[in-house]
Amino acid sequence: MTMIDERLVSSLLSVMRGLQAPLGAHVTAEGLTVTQFAVLEMLLHKGEQTINQIIEGVFSTSGNISVVINNLIEAGLLEKRSNPADGRSRLIALTPSGARKIEEYYPRHREEIQRILSGVSAEEKRQLIKTLLLMRSSIDKNIQNKE
């Protein structure tokens, strides 16, 4: 690894830590864990999903996500449904109560993100997104080549 690679990784991790603290505190104040919020947010934007789709979408493990989903089901925020496309799997969906909770909270979450990132211009954000997507593509390609 070159010095620039090390600095890049260090900078990315620093940015992630910098975002996690305030956003995590904001989510926790709503009575949710960060992973619970991520699941609710994903279902809000993408509709019902299989557990495997949720694992990939929120970057979690199967053991952890099962606990998270079961806790959200017990809280009345999610429900499991039969998957008509695949009888071996189940679909996870928001209940009306879960949809209300995430729909009420999500605008405040967006405002918090905007507040935190207000010192970065829209053009800088667009360029960073472009660069990060390029990096992600390169990482995925290099991982596949190693396997």
> What's the average model confidence in pLDDT over 112-136?
95
- In whole numbers, what is the pLDDT of the chain averaged over residues? 92
β-strand partners of 81: 91
The pTM of the full predicted model, rounded to 2 decimals, is: 0.83
Assess whether pLDDT exceeds 90 at residue 118. Answer: yes
The CATH code belonging to domain 21-116 is: 1.10.10.10
Assess whether pLDDT exceeds 90 at residue 61. Answer: no
Please report which confidence band the pLDDT of residue 147 belongs to, taking 50, 70 and 90 as the band edges. Answer: low
β-strand partners of 94: 78
Domain ranges of the chain: 21-116, 120-147
Assess whether pLDDT exceeds 90 at residue 93. Answer: yes
What are the backbone angles phi and psi of residue 37, rounded to the nearest 5°?
Answer: -60, -45
Who has greater pLDDT, 30 or 77?
77
Q: Which of 13-17, 55-59, 61-65 has the lowest mean pLDDT?
A: 61-65
